[in-house]
Structure 1
Amino acid sequence: MKKILVSMSIITAAAVTMLLFVYCDSRTSRNTKTTAGPDESKSQPEKVPEKQTKPATKPVPQVAAVDPCKAFKKINENTDLSSYTTVQLEEICKCGTVKACSRAGRLFALKENNYYNTGKMIKYLNLSCDKGVWEDCHFLGTVSEKGFDNLVPDLPKARILYKSSCEKGKLEKSCFQYHSLVFATAKNPADTYNYFSKKCREKQGESCMYMGRMLSEGRGVKRDRKEALKVFKKWCESGHHEGCIWQGKLHEEDGFHARAFQLYKDACTAAEGLGCLFGGNLLVEGKKLKKDPRRAAEMYTTGCEKGENNCCNVLGKMYQKGIDGDKPDFNLSVKFFEKSCQGRIMESCRLLAYIYETGRGVEQNFKRAGLLYDMACVMGEPIACANLGYLYEKGFGVKPDPVKAFKLYEMSCKKGEMTACNNLGHMYHSGVAVKSDSVKAFGLFEKACKSGHLPACQNVARLYELGEGVTKDLKKAVALYKKNCIALEMASCNSLAEMYKTGTGLKLDKRMAYDYYKKACFGNFAQGCTNLAMSYYLGRGTAKNVKKAIRYFEKACNAGEVTACFNLGKIYEKGRGGIKVDNKKALELYEKACRLGDSESCRMTTEKKGK
């Protein structure tokens, strides 16, 4: 409306009069009352309207259809296309020049260009590949094998592309990549053994590695470790350090660790990163060699610098824990995880995500953690999927989405990640994002427990105690709680204390309850500390000691245990146990408990602020 008013301000006075006339006329036609305009002091007699005649129309001349390819008719497969833009190349490609499709696809693959576009890269390279540009088929095979930016690896597709450019395009590098993938994915690839055997005789070094490995593992050929050792040794002696590495690997498997280490060390010195990795592993394990984690770290560092990303990953883990008694170095840990994650070691991406999630050594960043978990999950890392599910369940760094969390837990559980199975069990038990089903919950808890996941065993015991999803069996519950507590699952120690305190499934024994609460608390289980504090506060199973009660309430509250914060607030409000009344401190504690979800604390907060 504002634009119309501005334009009207520059219209001539006559035009304004005409506009007003038309406006009033249109209003009259809608039976509305209007006032006379400034030049209409007398009413004008009505005139008979003249007959309206339509102007004669002239036939529209027919325009011939424009041929979009006319401008490119002189362009053919021999034309130099280096000066053409991607827009022009797309048009030329549509007009049938395959070379333009290939050129466009390659330009769209360049990340440093403003027109980088993976979707268009795939589209145009597929067109050129289909028309027999075998180099593009090979390039697409590499993209499918290794992944590319946001594209997930697709090994079956990579095999098809490599095979096509190998057999039809006679590209030797495609043949090698095809058989390398067959080696990695097929159980008994006889044709692949024959291919590598032929290429090894032609002194193609890496083929000798595959040939030797197939002989040593009995894949595609009868197993023959002696022959494999000969292949590796010959390859090593001809100056190929990769051959030395695999020769060392056979010696290691046969128990000759010193001999293997020397071969690994020589290969590592010659800048073969895999030799650094295998040599470092022997020094860390220290089975038949003296354990030397510092020397191992030196070998891993060399390997990492030479591009062996698995060495970077191991270094990240070593610095995260601290090398040989040293304090953890999270800065170095992050540095090495970053490098190996960029090298598509998905364990590194997941471990890096966990550092950002917990804020250990870096500023806590749930969003960054979520992105890293997501990348690792998409690339097939089941633990990353479970951890990403947890972020969605709790709404850390992302909008809470229980349905998405459920799907991620389910996917991860199917891949054998027991934390995910346990979390999925919780969702079935509580009816979050799925219909409540205690039987399914018990089944998932039991599955995870049988795989050694202690929190799941705690949940199995709890359901036996309650009789939910399974027949109530207090003896089984007690037995599981005891077994778990011995294995240092502190939640089970706390549950066992509860059973002693109430005499459920066990003889009532307040002293035993106190002992198990103490064990749970000293094992950093926050609820155990709250219960231990109550034991001291009430003198239950031990001598009454309010000062100790306050100490353990504080420990539990600092760990986010809501009941401890509430109880501590009461103590400061009432001034118990030698503590002076401190309403300000009490309010702070009630506010914290309120933020943690305690409705009674929220009521107390409102009440105190209103005074």
Structure 2
Amino acid sequence: MKKVVVLLVCVVIVLVGYILSDKFEITKKNSDQIDIEVGEKYFDMGSKAYKENDINKAFKMFEKSCDAGYMDGCVTFGGFYYEGKGVAQDHKKALEIFKKACNKENKGGCYGLALLYKTGSGVSKDKNKAQEYFKKSCDLGYDSACKEISNEENILSQKVPENFKEAEREFKNNNFRKARSSASKACEEEYLEGCGMLGYLLSADMIEMLYKTKNEVEKKDLREKFLKVLVDTSNLCLENGSKYACKVGRFILLFSGGKMNEMTFNIFQKSCELDAKECDWVASFYKEGEYVSKDLRQAKIYYKKACNAGNENSCENYRKLN
């Protein structure tokens, strides 16, 4: 999943020297146009703070930008609530902010709104509403929204091939060699989930080989091939919404020595959106404070979601937190 909000590169603000100090406050004018210009300046200040990893200041600046009526500021501000960055994750609050931006014909706001309806986050899951807002965002010129529509149309138009049905049966029975063979055939027929499953199973095989291989030359060659498989499979997850491809997040963690980054976390979140059982991973990150701020309330939310989907491990972890 690409992020709802992409922070813009800060521009140089030609103003008096004290404008970036914490004490500086911009007085709002009566004119809507002046307010928006003020909002844009707050947005630039928030972007600068974000690049400097001052999340708290960035959050405050984007809030001021939104209050001044600058809709890109609202989308970014809503993104903080959507992701739980610098503030407790609150999808209902994100919904409110994205709706405000979308009503003002902001493409990012409509995209964020669509994502919430698609995943049922902060609002009842509604596929039709999601497509409606993806279309509006696309019409306003947001390429990511157009890709979402294209992917959905592609999935709906694709008849599930028999070899993929066979792959899923074998996968559920832990017969991974047979599942890989059937998934490979489905992928050759350009069935995306077949490619996603194939990428995941290849990743599982390759990481096992990496641990077993002693020859350093062979290991280096294998790592390069493995990295390509991980990249291709990650793209199938984030750009095409393949639930099997999104399972590759666990292998990326192993490959990177357990180092979490933004892209890896996005893969785990996307996996959770597509398959609730996978929310166990996101819950554990909030529980331990890995990459995200430690938040037991959010951990409980994700454990419960995974538990309700049938993940027994999550049910046990949820009980321990209560």
Normalising by structure 2, what TM-score? 0.49
Higher helix share: 2
Q: TM-score, normalised by structure 1?
A: 0.30
Structure number with larger C-alpha Rg: 1
